Structure 1
Amino acid sequence: MFERFTDRARTVVRVAKQEADELGHQAIGTEHIVLALLRDDGGIGHTVLRACGIEYDAIRATVAAGDDAAALRSIGIDLNAVRASVEQTFGPGALERAEPAERGGFLFRRSKLPTRFNNGAKKSLELSLRIALSLKHNYIGTEHILLAVLKEERGSGGRLLREQGMTYDRTMDLVLTALKNAA
């Protein structure tokens, strides 16, 4: 399947791994794929996201806050207000994760677990092939990955995009228009 990925689509997969690593997440999810699409300037997926008003910084902040932020929002707690209050009291970066001290010796060596795709991300990458084939494309581009993320209903990335007002059908229309304009 990966042999059908365009260079930009492969870059999106690599950048999604970087995003997960930078955020300290053990698995690559659809939210990391969305962040990678937003960073991939020039791809059709990026163009469509930007046309819909989706901003990298806003999505990254939401992903960094995690699902806990959504749960807190549902009971009326604004995580950003809490964070601002803590930083005002204890200084900037007070809530940043501290790196554990390095320890020497055989028994204390830390091994970094490999970052793997979670089920939602795997499903999205598989769906990207199906979407490409349904459009009669012999390649998988960033536009197919974006559509697959939206189609995968359980993934955090699709949920984030739907919260921003994106729908699969509207995104498909935008993708088809962008493909026609690119040709």
Structure 2
Amino acid sequence: MGKKRFEEVEYDPIETEAKRALARAVSQPGIGHQEGKEIIGEGSTISVPTDTSTVSLIEAARKKRATVIDTTQKASGRLTRKEKKRSFSCADEEQDRDLDLFIARLKSLSGTHLPFQVLMRAACVCVMRAEEQIVDAMRKMPPPVQPATFAHDAYAQFEEYWIELLGIALRRVRPHQ
């Protein structure tokens, strides 16, 4: 079966606006629709209101909805934020809880929302600044070979090595000037 040839259709702003008005009228629940004149174009029949009463009803409904949202936000004090679950997870649930509590403490002390990603970017920058100290510490304590992830005990020891190594390196790093 061959491709259908491209047929150039002239843009009709009146018909396009009529389609938009119909879509708005249909998508607004509880708003009555008055039958009016019909516009026929490209094989479709669209009913468009003859007066602007439907359009004014739509605008009134939008304003009412905005007022309800504003009063709801004012009544609740502020808009409640839905907490996002971070994509990073720790080795076990206890570490996850500890991390969540740590982030919550930092948020309360700073008085602002503090995304997990911001903390991780800051930690990465600090670790990159300590590159020389990390290399020096690795020379003194050679790193073990990474074990398989299903070897839980060996993997935990591997993580502990890196925790210890980074702790030593970060304590030695000079403040960024």
Greater Cα radius of gyration, structure 1 or 2: 2
Q: TM-score range by the shorter chain?
A: under 0.3
TM-score normalized by structure 2? 0.20
Bigger RCO (CA 8 Å, 6+ sep) = 1
TM-score normalized by structure 1? 0.20
